[in-house]
Structure 1
Amino acid sequence: MSSSLWATKLVTYSHRGEVRLGAYEDDAVIDLNRAYALMLREQGKPRAEALAAALVPPSMMEFLQGEEESIRVALEAIRFVKQQAARPGGTEKLKQAGVWFLRNEVVLKAPVPNPPHLLAIGLNYRAHVEEIDRGFAQPIQTGTGEPSYPVVFTKEGAIIGPGETIRIPPVVEQPDYEGELAVVIGKPARHVTRERALDYVAGYMIFNDVSARDLQSRVSQWTMGKSPDTFSAMGPYLVLKDEVPDPQALAIRTRIGSEVLQDSSTSRMIFSVAVLIEHISQVMTLTPGTVITTGTPEGVGAGRKPPRWLRPGETIVVEVEKLGELANPIARE
């Protein structure tokens, strides 16, 4: 099934206080639930709204639980909108139906705002392991050398999306950045092999695993240092997997203004996306909407001489090839 009909970027957007599922393309946002209902009404189908609510519900999490069937009908709705928009007056009709919005009329939110699990991977790029071994500004308890198995931890706290502010709590003095590739699970995965692992993926997005190094270094468990509110930034889109045939061939970069801080490739991961899914699914079920953020390359602030912490007033930008860029301003609480 190809998702290249038109839009492959799924978003969670807000319009006049209402948060809904959409698709993004060319500075426009399509409301997928309303688009599918309109398509069914145009086709004379009964119970159009009920069918749309069941197959293309208006929230990202409910949509992902529909697995491949929901993606299929969403793509039908996108094709329909494209056809309507090409007709005279078509765009205006779509606007009146609440289907079509210009980018500046909506606010993009975290694509998967309430995942059932938010799992993160540490020490997954060789050069990042090496910079830790050379000495962090605030040493963290990791051991030395490449890990033999994936280092998996959880991130708690409030999730934010593109343009939302990373707010540094008063207790944190060493806020750091970690640009990463995140994978979103599209159907239940348990005891999955690496050969089949990518079949269980819905898509990919950018993630900034913001870290409080001073809190992280105090103990061997990283949850507190990784979980301040707003220290999990994701977006701007969930790009369907058909648009990313090889998640191990993506350029990844983190910058503040013109200052490039990280510049690497997902090809340099120690454990690939497929291996991570295989490994984690041996012990727990990865349900639709689960987010796995796959680790950061070298160049983090704690590894620099002198350390380069995030500063209020700056904007941190993470770019991943094919996925766009995620920008978040920095402020103190």
Structure 2
Amino acid sequence: MKLVSYRKGKNNPFRIGAMLDKKNVLDLEDAFRQMEIANGGEVTENFPADPNAFFLAGPDTFELAKQAVNYVELKHVEPLQFDREEVELGTPISRPGKIICVGKNYAEHAAEMKSDIPDYPVLFAKFANALIGPEDAIKKSHLTSKLDYEAELTIVIGKEASNVHKENAGEYILGYTIGNDISARDLQKRTPQWLQGKTLDRSTPVGPWIVTADEITDPANLKIKSFVNGEERQSSNTKHLIFNIPYLIEFISSIMTLEPGDIILTGTPNGVGFAMDPPGFLNDGDTVKIEIENIGELENRVEDLR
């Protein structure tokens, strides 16, 4: 299942949906309502239409969403749905409780940044002000002249996780999406703490959808690439993560409780603009595309923040 946040018309709120195929967006609340009416004649459960409420609701609601999609596909009914080109896709989760990022998690990236391989995962935070959707522009603040891209596999937490053992980590993952950990290198590096270079307003694309974990058979073996204006910049595979996904879930959940809707950006491979000679930073008008195998593409244009 591919979960999306969508709206038809700028004045309408975003709603939770699912991609039935590459062309159609299904409204999950309406699909659930039709399934309930068909099965019992009345709607007995409260199904959230708001994407943030949906993700916060947790595993029981996720299961109801799967049932609704299966009902639509098996019964060939047509609840509220739209052609992909008729709607705007937003950030799948626009206000997650936590946005946790992992730095230096590919050995070759650590080397190009002239850093040692860490003994423990390097964690930092972003905040919801930074998040944008798959059709939004990356805003380049006047504060930076060194805006950089970072292609990252992103984990979405599906249920509360505290002190999880890595052997059981998969039980707590709802799914995976694509993140572009946009970084203002000049702001990032002017102090020991990276935060100010990592959470500029409207700078971090996530999407275009969340692919549920049951459809990603091996998250430890996914090709990951980035392109700037059509030029390939990064090309690697998640098998090269220093700290793999089960370990990250175990490590992070030992420090803090992870909750439904929290997201984790797992780190970027080598090939960032900062390490190029000369550096290949982003400017107004540039286009950044990220591809992750079995998930899709995330493409955004850079615009000066005016």
TM-score by length of 2: 0.95
Which AA in structure 2 matches 1:39?
Answer: M
Give the aligned partner of residue 182 of structure 1. 154
Report deviation, 1:245.
Answer: 2.1
1:170 aligns with 2:176: no
1:132-175 deviation per Cα after TM superposition (whole angstroms, max 9, x unaligned): 11xxxxxxxxxx31000000000123310102000111111100
In the alignment, is the contact (CA less than 8 A) between 2:121 and 2:243 conserved in 1?
A: yes
1:124–1:269 contact (8 Å) kept in structure 2: yes
**Structure 2 spans left out of the alignment, 5+ residues:** none
Alignment of 1:100 with 2:81, yes or no, is yes
User: In structure 2, what is the Cα distance between the partners aligned to 1:127 and 1:20?
Assistant: 40
In 2, the alpha carbon distance for the partners of 1:154 and 1:231 equals 14
Residue identity (%): 39
Secondary structure, aligned partner of 1:57: coil
Deviation, 1:59, is 2.3
Amino acid aligned to 1:193 = H
Q: Does 1:234 align with 2:206?
A: yes
Letter of the 1:155 partner, please give it.
K
Equivalent in the alignment of 2:123 = 152
Could you give the per-residue CA deviations for residues 262-308 of structure 1, whole angstroms, max 9, x where no partner exists? Answer: 00000001000111111111111001001000000000000000000
Indicate the residue corresponding to 1:30 in structure 2. Answer: 26
Letter aligned with residue 151 of structure 1: V
Give the total of aligned pairs.
301
2:4 — aligned with what? 11
CA contact (8 A) 1:155 1:232 kept: no
Over 3 Å off, 4+ runs: none
Corresponding letter in the other structure for 2:124: F
> TM-score when scaled to structure 1?
0.87
Work out whether 1:75 is the aligned partner of 2:66.
yes
Query: Which of residues 289, 292, 295 is equivalent to 1:323?
Result: 295
Q: CA deviation digits over 1:61-113, x for unaligned, max 9?
A: 3223333322222122112222454xxxx54xx3xxxx111111110001111
**Could you tell me how far apart the structure 1 residues matched to 2:302 and 2:230 are?**
16
Cα deviation 1:221-263 (Å, max 9, x = unaligned): 0110001012221000100001112211000000023300000
User: For 1:30 and 1:36, how far apart are their aligned partners in 2?
Assistant: 11
Contact residue 132 and residue 205 of structure 2 kept, 8 A: yes
Q: C-alpha separation between the residues in 2 aligned to 1:60 and 1:203?
A: 15
Counterparts of 2:169 and 2:103, CA distance in 1 = 20
Deviation at 1:39, TM superposition (A): 1.5
* Alignment partner of 1:211 is 2:192: no
Tell me if the contact between 1:120 and 1:155 (Cα under 8 Å) persists in the aligned partners.
yes
Alignment check: 8 A CA contact 1:12 1:21 kept: yes
2:122 aligned with 1:123, yes or no?
no
* Alignment correspondent of 1:196: 168
Unaligned residue ranges in structure 1 (runs of 5+)? 1-7, 134-143
Tell whether 2:302 aligns with 1:309: no
After superposition, the CA RMSD in angstroms is 1.3
